[in-house]
Amino acid sequence: MDVNGPGFSVGDDPDKIHARIQAELSTDQILWLEKQSHLIDKTALLKYAVMEWVVRHPIDWLSGIRVGDAVRLALNEFIDRHKEEFLSGD
């Protein structure tokens, strides 16, 4: 998956997550992204989360994990690791 190419966002709107990616996210993850979108584009956050996750879990990535599973896991880990840097999901 090319996180710099098409796939995360819809058209040219960096704040509208593609339906196939959004379908893989939990309600809590979507709400967290919505809250952060006041400061940064949702798709940018997803890209950062996935890039960070791939670096931390190269074996999982190279073993052929489903993209939707990787995005969901990456965002969970990103939220946990960076919770002090972003707005609370509560």
pLDDT tens digits, 44-69: 889 999 999 999 999 999 998 998 89
Question: What's the CA angle centered on 61, arms 60 and 67, to 5 degrees?
Answer: 115
Predicted confidence band of residue 70 (pLDDT cuts 50, 70, 90)? very high
Q: Across all residues in the chain, what is the average pLDDT?
A: 82
pTM comes to: 0.77
Torsion angles phi and psi, residue 28, rounded to 5: -60, -40
